[in-house]
Amino acid sequence: MFDLSSMMQYLPAFLEGFIMTAKVSIISIGFSFILGMIIALMRISTHKILKYFALAYVDMFRNIPFIVLIFFSYYGLPEIGIYIDAFWTGVLTLSLAVGAYTAETLRAGIESIDKGIIEAAKSFGLSPFKIFIKIIMPIALTVSVRPLGSVFINLILTTSILSAITLNELTGVSKVIASTTFRPFEVYVFLVFFYGLLTFLLSGLFNLWHLRLNKYNEAG
Amino acid sequence: MYGSEGFSIYDIILWAQGLGVSVGVFILSMTLGLLLGVAIGLIRYYQIAFLGKTLMMISEFLKNSPIIVQLFLVYFGIPAVTGIDMTPIEAAVWTLSANTAAFIAVIIISSISSIEPRQLEAARSFALSEFVILRKIIFPQAFSVSIPLLVGLAINQLQVTSLISVIGVYDLTRVGDIVNQRTFEPFIVWPIIGATYFILAKLLAHLGTRLERRFSQHKIMSEL
Amino acid sequence: MIEIKNLYKDFGELNVLKGINLSIHEGEVVSIIGGSGSGKSTMIRCINGLEKITSGTLTVDGFDVTKPSELLEARKKCATVFQQFDLYPHLNVVDNITLAPINVLGLSKAEAQIKAMELLDSMAMSDRATFYPSQLSGGQKQRAGICRALAMNPRYLLLDEITSSLDPEMTAEVLEILKLLVKRGITMICVTHEIDFAREISDRIVFLDEGTILKDMDKQSFFNDDGGLMEPRIAKFLTKMATI
Ligand SMILES: Nc1ncnc2c1ncn2[C@@H]1O[C@H](COP(=O)(O)OP(=O)(O)OP(=O)(O)O)[C@@H](O)[C@H]1O
Ligand SMILES: [Mg+2]
């Protein structure tokens, strides 16, 4: 009943799907991180308009399901003359949506920083940019690595929804394999295990990174 | 391409139907998920051999794989090996219930383990039965700890219901897709669908904070 | 010279500094004392440009701290040691000390590190160079804080109650170091509750009371019966401090 051997021939296709998932994920993680940083900074700025814009942004993207967003982009963008393929539609929408979560995570990290430390740096004449790069970001990251890790793992799981706009990533490819082999059970069980293992490995990596970044406050 | 036919009054009925299906599936799967999740949590807590570990293992995979794949597995995979046919709605409810249960089990276990073990030892030393301990000591405390976590989970699972459209359930998202294909008005259709989810999420969050507040008041009262 | 003229600072409705006039010359050691909430920290923060002044002028060697274009120059001349240490928690002691010299003064990493090691050595801290702040005792943290300030080669060292988070033993340890610095001729503006210490090291004492300077005189006259002690509020403050 549970027959994996006959499916070996589909391994290359599966691998291609995996590479597609990896590509979408990595690019989107990069973009959503940068975007999240900008939104987080807007969110904590004293400028009223920036602040409320960021707040509305986060609120909107966290409360609308991703599949609705992706359909909006996929059908909407061509209507306004923007012709990009499923890959870039996916990357764009994923980055925008996950940026909201990244922003909240980074904001929590930034707000946890003792104000005195930043003032000390200011008093020594460090520029705002240097303070951000050398002090705020490193400390915020040590606080946020783990929550950031779950945000990014969620991003990877969310790429599966891109199969709904015809992107041939892991899930999309598996759908094809399932219907050509008539073995949906084996294919999807395998897929569940595959994603599960992937997230398990990644969360392990983020834990290690957390330990590395936090070595400075081990001793009390 | 297909002609764009414009909107009709029936689209409102479609929308309302989709809304009903989404909310219905949400409520049903949250309820079933809660029952199932509590059961799994307790089985794990009382370390019922083998079963507890196996269930938690399955929970881990449910938590760490895409819901879409889980929906495909249940809707296409299970009938293929068992021969039992399922309607899309049935598959959707079972999948989301199991998925919700996986998260709830973890919430239950962490809430129970937040209770001071000394309290339980004290209770056991008075020869209270495990059932009484569970009902009178563990449950009330674990409940108050888990409320905010459960509210957060509910808000998340509401969004997850939008995915059942991929196995053909006529939920809000599917209705959006149908109307969008017919009218070719993505800039009207999807904002309306998005706004509906947004409002539902806000309502749920509002209910959640009321629940939390009511519960913390209850806690303060009982402390007096 | 740090020159403060007619300085006012409000926090909304609250007037914290009400017309401060104060000049501090190079080579002077000035202690600023006064009751809690009298505005001492606020004044130091104004000199740093950490608080926006409401009115008046404040210049450091002619650089106006209220002008964004001159603030950096003013900040390069002053270095502050903070009550709560405020060391960068993610950097070890050496990196704490070298961060500003490298990024503000433009020293090379090697130069900055050599300088940092010299400073640490002079404070018997060289064995703690690669420790993180969380691994240091309070006294060690504050010595690192002093090194961090001195590494900027400041013309003025600003100290805001730098021993009040320390226990007596560590306080003594840090005060010893300050005495050494004074002997070397550094200009120091020192907010302190350690009256004996102020009496020992200062050239001048400034007594701040509810946002105004009640007395600004040289040490000898300040502690004389016909000097600062004539002022009942000062006498009261000093007796209070003495009984603690
Ligand atoms: N950021 C602020 N916002 C509002 N009020 C402030 C702020 N900073 C200081 N104050 C107020 O200004 C007054 C002076 O504070 P400051 O810290 O300068 O006093 P201080 O003389 O240093 O006292 P202490 O000896 O306790 O350190 C206090 O009443 C304080 O509450
Ligand atoms: Mg103070």
Per residue in C40-89, pLDDT (tens digit) is: 999 999 999 999 999 999 999 999 999 999 999 999 999 999 999 999 99
pLDDT of residue A220: 41
Asked if pLDDT for residue B196 goes beyond 80, the answer is yes
Taking CB atoms and an 8 Å limit, are B180 and A71 in contact across chains?
Answer: yes
How do the domains of chain A map onto residue ranges? 10-219
The residue that leads in pLDDT, C166 or C187, is: C187
Phi, psi (deg, nearest 5) at residue C242: -70, -30
pTM: 0.87
Asked if pLDDT for residue B179 goes beyond 60, the answer is yes
Report, in this order, helix, strand and coil percent for chain B, each rounded to 5: 85, 0, 15
Do residues C143 and C162 make contact, with C-beta atoms less than 8 angstroms apart? no
Of C241, C236, C237, C216, the residue nearest C227 (C-alpha): C216
- Which residues sit with their C-beta closer than 6 Å to ligand 1? C 11, 14, 16, 34, 36-42
Asked if pLDDT for residue C107 goes beyond 80, the answer is yes
Asked if pLDDT for residue B158 goes beyond 90, the answer is yes
Rounded to the nearest angstrom, the minimum Cα separation between A171 and chain B is 7
Show the domains of chain B with their CATH numbers. Answer: 9-223 (1.10.3720.10)
In the predicted model, what is the mean pLDDT of residues B124-146? 80
pLDDT of residue B4: 58
Share of chain B above pLDDT 90, in %: 59
Asked if pLDDT for residue B53 goes beyond 70, the answer is yes
Q: Which of B31-45, B71-85, B113-127, C3-17 has the lowest mean pLDDT?
A: B113-127
pLDDT of residue A1: 47
Phi, psi (deg, nearest 5) at residue B94: -65, -45
Asked if pLDDT for residue C228 goes beyond 80, the answer is no
CB-based contact, B201 to chain A, within 8 Å: yes
Taking CB atoms and an 8 Å limit, are A79 and B187 in contact across chains?
Answer: yes
Return the structure tokens found at C30.
Answer: 């000035």
pLDDT of residue B44: 86
DSSP string across A85-131: -HHHHHHHHHHHHHHHHHHHHHHHHHHTS-HHHHHHHHHTT--HHHH
- Those residues of chain A that have pLDDT short of 70 are 1-4, 218-220
Using pLDDT thresholds of 50, 70 and 90, give the confidence band for residue B186: very high
Q: Which segment, A176-180, B19-23, C212-216, is predicted with the most confidence on average?
A: B19-23
Atom from ligand 1 closest to the CA of residue C38: 21
* Burial of residue C111, with CB atoms counted within 10 A of its CB: 0-12 exposed, 13-18 middle, 19 or more buried: middle
Share of chain C above pLDDT 70, in %: 99
pLDDT of residue A2: 53
Asked if pLDDT for residue B222 goes beyond 80, the answer is no
| Contact map slice: A 50-109 vs B, CB within 8 A | 60, 63-69, 71-72, 75-76, 79
Asked if pLDDT for residue B217 goes beyond 80, the answer is no
| Contact map slice: C 129-148 vs A, CB within 8 A | 132-135, 148
pLDDT of residue C167: 85
Rounded to the nearest angstrom, the minimum Cα separation between C34 and chain A is 23
Q: Does domain A10-219 have CATH number 1.10.3720.10?
A: yes
Bin C218: left if φ > 0, else alpha if -120 < ψ < 50, else beta. Answer: beta
Residues of chain A positioned with their CB less than 8 A from the CB of B202: 63
In the predicted model, what is the mean pLDDT of residues C163-175? 86
Among C14, C16, C48, C54, name the best residue to mutate to test ligand 1's pocket (greatest count of ligand atoms within 8 A of Cβ). Answer: C16
Atom from ligand 1 closest to the CA of residue C43: 18
Nearest CB neighbour to B68, from listed A75, A161, A189: A161
Ligand 2 center from residue C91 Cα (angstroms): 26
